[in-house]
Amino acid sequence: MLDTTCCKRRTLLGGALAGLTGAMLSTRLAFAAAADHAYRGDVLVLLSLRGGFDGLSAVVPAGDAAYYQARPGIGVPRARLIGGDRFFGLHPSLAPLLPFWKSGKLGAVHAVGQPAPNRSHFAAMEELERAAPGTSTRTGWLDRMVGGLGATDPFSAVSVGQARPARVLDGPAPNLGVSALDAFTLNGESDIKPIAATMAALYADAPAHLAGTATQLLGALDTAKSVQAAGYVPANGAAYPDSELGKALRDVARLIKADVGLMTATVDSGDWDMHENLGRKMPDHLGDLARALAAFATDLGPDGLGRVTLVTISEFGRRVAENGSGGLDHGYGNAMFLLGGHVRGGKVHGRWPGLAPAKLVGGDLAVTTDYRSVIAEILRVRCGLSSTAAVFPGVKPATLGVVTA
């Protein structure tokens, strides 16, 4: 499918060639120099739970009596909770992840969110992915992250799946967006229409500053062809669900194992906007999330998971009190999950503010931890980014100890 709006227009070859490149690609691309696989930090996998994830249903504060008072119809009974501790418990639909919770590879941070409430999906997602409120910065924070790590190849930062979080990768750093790895090809390429070979011949003798984009495009295609030709069978008996999320995480695991120089991958999981019938919808959604994440971790195995940290984010949480339709309206504070070989898991990090009416912010869970500070801690400790000031302006890395060095 044509996605020319997402192609980065490099002035190297001028707008005409950039537009032609975008028209031929079945995915969106940004190009830079040849691959450099010197990066040895964790691959940061960003999983965006779009629509407003209800962290209070996933990581239940059962020890706070106000939770059950506010949710008499949809509160998860304490007797059904799994994992957790004396205060928190996990939703029973997250059972596929319980082994990783118990082994300390899965953890959570609660009462986390953006600096200020914002109940507009569009505006909140834009702020979440730009992550620089009060500044003139317009790039996405993942773009700033890979730029700071010295990314030189489009396979350094890859967005996988149908719904692509473009804003978080907006900016000058190289990145690649694919609906699926096996679908990454030039539109119209065939034996009788060798578009890639024609492009290679066309720019074979061109100066580097003119041939750069075409060379980088051909390099990305060659890398993709190599990954495709190798095929893929998940390891360790991992069984991904046949869902968009399952397929996307399978491709992320495939890229990690192929050692293409991946620094970060970003994946979307949508449809968390549950204004009604949350008690019926949430178990199915959490079940798919848990099966996909469990398959991902199983597929990578201990060694692979040891160089990966996955984090979940969402634009906002849901209100504490259920509405008249058995659902929840847009809120503020939320929970985020962390999965990885060096995550300090099996616990809920962060300071709990309480759910008593006087403790709420406009009827919502208060935010006691900026989501940016959690990710900044991971970038510093696990990804080797000595300073995160350019990634998250004005925000210091948290000292929650969510990951080990």
- Report all structural domains of the chain as residue ranges with CATH numbers, in order of start: 34-182+240-381 (3.40.720)
- 188-225 as b/e, with b when 16 or more CB fall inside 10 Å? eeeeeeeebeebeeebeeeeeeebbbbbbbbbbbebbe
- By the 8 A CB rule, do 220 and 155 touch? yes
pLDDT number for residue 209: 74
For tokens 């390429």, the residue is 189
Positions in the chain whose pLDDT score sits under 70: 1-37, 163-166, 212, 216
pLDDT number for residue 15: 27
Instruction: Give the CB-side neighbour count of residue 82, counting CA atoms within 13 A.
Output: 13
The whole-angstrom distance between residue 386's C-alpha and the CA centroid of its chain comes to 22
pLDDT number for residue 188: 74
pTM for this entry? 0.89
Stretch (H or E) spanning 108:
strand 106-113
pLDDT number for residue 28: 37
pLDDT number for residue 238: 98
SS3 127: helix
